[in-house]
Amino acid sequence: MHDKVDTVTAIPPAAGWTRALPRHVGIIMDGNGRWAAARGLPRMEGHRRGVESVRRSVRAALEIGISYLTIYSFSTENWSRPPQEVSFLMGLLKRFIRNDLADLHANGVRVRVIGSREGLEPEITSLLSEAEALTRNNGRLTLVVAFNYGGRQEIAEAARRLATRAVAGEIDPASISPEAIRAELDTAGMPDPDLIIRTSGEQRISNFLLWQAAYAEFVFLPLHWPDFDRAAFETALDAYAGRDRRFGGLRVDAEKTGS
């Protein structure tokens, strides 16, 4: 059971920011290959430029005042890509941690990694653990890296753990509630995402935070991930600020007007 609770508190929005801000933003970073193809460049160059967009996004989240930023860096389905590309992506992750961890730590970023570590290279698991250990007490921004992650797999693992405890007589099956499942997810202790952004124009969730995104707002941007910058981030935040979030209920004024 995941009993560790995140105690990071939201910080005030950046000076001059008057719009409603999401506490937790998730990003499905899509379109690296298409960005490269449109420019006659190899796919690997698209992935490399995508890392620069990650840096810009983290910087923007810090400046704007987002408390949690979850990036979909590598899905469980991505293993089906050509071995050369997978190897390149693993190398990018290693370089990102080695090159950026000190800067993230200095800026108060807490790194948290979700997803399965089973079968990963020992060097990668070591780097992920190092990043989490070094930054665990930071509270300005929690950067959640969804690596070797899949929403269906996450839910299945949570159900399996609860079933094991029920068979052992530790819990009553009748007591299993949405809250009990949530406590077993990789994101236990974190707020659900308020906003999920996907680049490249595709309009699907692709196995990303399936349980957690039940009431998230979605913004699909037509640009590819290497082109994502502060302006694109603010475009998504503007769209979020204009949404009417009722979580299945009604606003007081809507009840009075019958709308």
Annotated catalytic residues are 30, 78
User: What is the enclosing helix (H) or strand (E) of 179?
Assistant: helix 178-182
**Other C-beta atoms lying within 10 Å of the C-beta of residue 128:** 21
What does the angle CA 189 – CA 190 – CA 192 come to, to the nearest 5 degrees? 130
SS3 195: strand
* Whether 76 contacts 148, CB under 8 Å: yes
β-bridge mates for residue 145, sequence order: 71, 113
Within a 10 A sphere around the Cβ of 237, how many other Cβ atoms? 22
Helix (H) or strand (E) holding 129: helix 122-135
- Whole-number Å distance between alpha carbons of 141 and 104: 9
Query: Measuring CA to CA, which residue among 139, 60, 67 is closest to residue 105?
Result: 139
HEC profile of 198-241:
ECCCCCCCCCCCCCHHHHCEEEECCCCHHHCCHHHHHHHHHHHH
8-state DSSP, 254: H
